[in-house]
Chains A and B, each alone.
Chain A
Amino acid sequence: MTERVGVYVCHCGSNIAGTVDVVDVANWAAEKLGRQGVIIAREYKFMCSSLGQELIEKDIKELGLTRVVVAACSPHLHEKTFRTAAKNAGLNPYLVELASIREQVSWVHSDKAVATAKAKAVVSGAVSRVIENRPLEEIKVPINPNTLVVGGGIAGIQSALEIANAGFHVYLVEREPSIGGHMAQFDKTFPTLDCSACILTPRMVEAGTHPNITLLTWSEVTNVAGYVGNFHVTIKKKARFINEELCTGCGICQEKCPKKVIDDVYEAGLGYRKAVYTPFAQAVPNFPVMDKENCTYFIKGTCKACEKFCPTGAIDFNQQDEMLHIDVGNIVLATGYDLFDARRVSNYGYGRLPNVFTSLEFERLSNAAGPTAGNIVLRDGKTVPKNVGIIHCVGSRDKNFNNYCSVICCMQGLKFAHLVHERTGATVYNFYIDMRTAYKAYDEFYQRVLEEGTLFVRGKVAEVTDAARNEREKGRLIIQVEDTLAGKQRRIPVDMVILSSGLQPRADAKEVGKLFGISCSMDGWFTEKHPKLDPVATMTEGIYIVGCAQGPKDIPSSVAQGAAASARVLDKILQKEVALEPIKASVDSALCSGCRICNGLCPFNAITFIEDDKVTEINPALCQGCGTCVAACPAGAISGTGFSNEQIIAQIDGLMMKNLEPVEA
């Protein structure tokens, strides 16, 4: 059967018509592509307007069109519009093809003759291709109403609470013993100077006690299978050596444990914890965790002090890691960030010069619940600094380390300046490249810190050294910097240096991305679906990214993203089923030789080899439609809907004008 093709050329006002002779293109298509089945070619001012769509719908009904080509803008903009129009007129939406003559022609070329010729070629390619299009149906899959949230920082907590409050079940997985994330380590939050714990812990408790939230701390996701609506997730619940049923969280085991360990996670290496511990007093859940590496019983086979004193008999040295299998419909990743390792900037001396502190160390130092009870002192534990230097952009905006801006460090540096000034009265210097205080009430905070008398030096610090050149510098840290506003080199002696370290992706972000089937940017942050219009979704349906896992951001933005992702999840849950693009690969088992070349190509594990039949099979639910296996099959046994060999070859021929009316010899 010959197809009846309609071609519709859009003026897009003057956007297309200004550079492309649209009337010529339409006339040419009607005349030269008749052999291809073009029975009508029209041009119209705005094809996407309701009148334009009606034009197409009318022709489908009255002229019996079986294929439609709209020469207009990019399919990413209006493909859906014209597919819907076709559907309304009773034509399968996948029999519509867009020829992008705006983004690919009129907007990027200036010569009208050349642009018109290219537009004709693009239309010709689309006509040839659309003939080979086949009707497709969207694939509908039911949605499991349960949700998995990975990461119990503020972004993950917010996300879990929003979904749970809407009445749906959430599994909140956290690999540390308690939820809370980095925010639980902070003392104050900028710019309001709210006490971090005061605003965070109620949320933590709410998440911990919510009837719709299953809290799985000290746990990690080890495997993810399935697809949107139907994920099968395996979670490793690491042995706590505490029976959670019996433990009351009284804390006697921690009190009695004789083994002190430097806490380099929660206390950033500044304080101690026991071998059996909860990371902090307000931990949720309040069950301790036994640190097997450091526990005397596990090392020497004797001690068991905790067991002796536990009033409920909750200590269980024989506990094993447990594998949990859960089914969820959507997954929110809130895996957070790692602090940039300041040791890498060796000229700043962190790790070598004792009184150089990282931002996280200072957070613990200034925290009333921290190792110094909130007293800002030098590494000796008693001397109050008289001069403090705060260095911005450590590891950020630096080609040697991370090129990007870590967003929070300017405000963090200002917050530190305020806290030092308030608690010690010391002279504070801030060394910055540019002061970035965007967002609500941030710049006002900067003004406030300026008014408090903090000194600002614009310039990237070259070095922090203890090599004194004179009496004044002796025994102190000297900050060598080019003051770019004064235009001179300065040496500023201080007692304490705080490095406002940047944020960087989790060390295992790549592996985690792979586990969940999403990608990372060049910098290593998880890639969102659209940087502006879809910042929490990913290219993998049903997987969302929130908080710093997506890129450096502050607490308000993390919370907003957590909530935003929940709205998307709830949207999916309430639809009860999801429509998947029917772009899938399938194997013709009669043609498959069983060579297994395709078997290793699929990153989504959609391809399996059937031993009994010696042929390969593709699971359409797992297939994401990339087409790599289609291109690889030496027998041509794999075909891909939406992007079949026939469609692509036809489009090549069409673009090369191999489909025109035969030239009279």
Chain B
Amino acid sequence: MTDQFEPTIIGFTCNWCSYRASDLAGTARMKYAPNVRLIRLMCSGRLDPTFVLRALSDGADGVMITGCHPGECHYIEQNYKALRRYLLLKRVLAGMGIEPERVKLVWASAAEGAKFAAETTAFVEEVRKLGPLSWGKDESQDKHSSFIIQPSSEKEVPA
């Protein structure tokens, strides 16, 4: 093992497609990066964006959301709602000073174990490049503390 940064990622999966894709990746013994921990939802539409914020504030460095391909949703069209929330969430994250790339939406059908594995590994590498998020940790170590505007009085100390 090298000393490279190992991100922790929370993955939200749909019960019908991507969770089964992860099962398939397992059955087929496809190796992928061990950094993602999965949570099974009934549908990507169940994903309340605050779950993502919760995961990030708990210390996760990235969040992967997976759902059925457009047109293949088990609940007909709820993955489109997930897509809308995802796009909005990315803007909110940017507004909060968090790289929106820390959250990724992946479509993976139950047959796409290989895709699930490949996308997981790719996302881990992407988050690794972004570095630790360290959100909700000690402020002094938070690389995002630079986003906090310092009061002007501190800049110009009167002589």
Contacts and interface: CB of A to CB of B under 8 A. Distances in A.
Interface of A: 74-77, 100, 102-105, 107-111, 114-115, 118, 121-122, 125, 510, 514, 517, 519-522, 527, 531, 539, 583, 601, 603-604, 624-628, 630-632, 640, 642-643, 645, 648-649, 651-653, 655-656, 658
Interface string B37-54: 111111101111101001
B74 A519 contact: yes
A583 B19 CA distance: 17
A114 B76 contact: no
Contacts of B22: 103-104
13 contacts: A100-B23, A100-B26, A100-B38, A108-B26, A108-B30, A115-B34, A121-B37, A125-B37, A527-B72, A531-B110, A625-B42, A627-B46, A655-B39
Given A107-B27, A656-B10, A627 B55 contact: no
A122 B16 CA distance: 20
Interface stretch (B77-85, B95-103, B122-130, B144-152): B77-85
Given A517-B76, A628-B46, A645-B48, 11 more contacts: A74-B19, A76-B19, A100-B26, A108-B30, A110-B31, A118-B34, A522-B72, A601-B45, A628-B43, A655-B10, A656-B10
Contact of A519 (B20, B26, B47, B71): B71
A103 B37 contact: no
**List of 3 A-B pairs having minimum Cβ-Cβ separation, nearest first:** A103-B26, A627-B46, A628-B45
A538 to B, nearest CB: 9
Contacts of A514: 76
Interface of B: 1, 8, 10, 16, 19-20, 22-23, 25-27, 29-32, 34, 37-43, 45-49, 51, 54-55, 58-60, 68-69, 71-78, 81, 85, 110-111, 117
Contact of A118 (B37, B41, B85): B37
A118 to B, nearest CB: 5
B111 A531 contact: yes
A643 B27 contact: no
B34 A114 contact: yes
Contact of A631 (B20, B46, B71, B74): B46
A74 B72 contact: no
B38 A104 contact: yes
B76 A643 contact: no
A247 B139 CA distance: 87
A88 B60 CA distance: 39
B40 A75 contact: yes
A393 B41 CA distance: 41
A517 B42 CA distance: 16
Contacts of B47: 631
A126 to B, nearest CB: 10
B33 to A, nearest CB: 8
A118 B11 CA distance: 13
A631 B85 contact: yes
A519 B76 contact: yes
Contacts of B41: 627, 643, 648
B117 A108 contact: yes
A108 B45 contact: no
A21 to B, nearest CB: 14
Given A107-B26, A627-B41, A656 B81 contact: no
Contact of B72 (A115, A520, A531, A631): A520
B137 to A, nearest CB: 12
A108 B76 contact: no
B8 A656 contact: yes
Contacts of A658: 58-59
Nearest to A76: B23
Contact of B45 (A100, A110, A520, A631): A631
Nearest to B70: A522
Contacts of B42: 583, 625-627, 642-643
A204 to B, nearest CB: 34
A442 to B, nearest CB: 26
Contacts of A640: 46
Given A517-B76, A628-B75, A643-B42, A656 B58 contact: yes
A579 to B, nearest CB: 17
B54 A652 contact: yes
Given A627-B43, A630-B48, A656-B55, A519 B85 contact: no
Nearest to B52: A652
Given A583-B42, A625-B42, A652-B10, A522 B54 contact: no
Contacts of B110: 531
Nearest to A124: B37
Contacts of A125: 37, 39
Nearest to B76: A603
| Most chain A C-beta atoms within 10 Å of own C-beta, residue among B10, B30, B46, B111 | B46
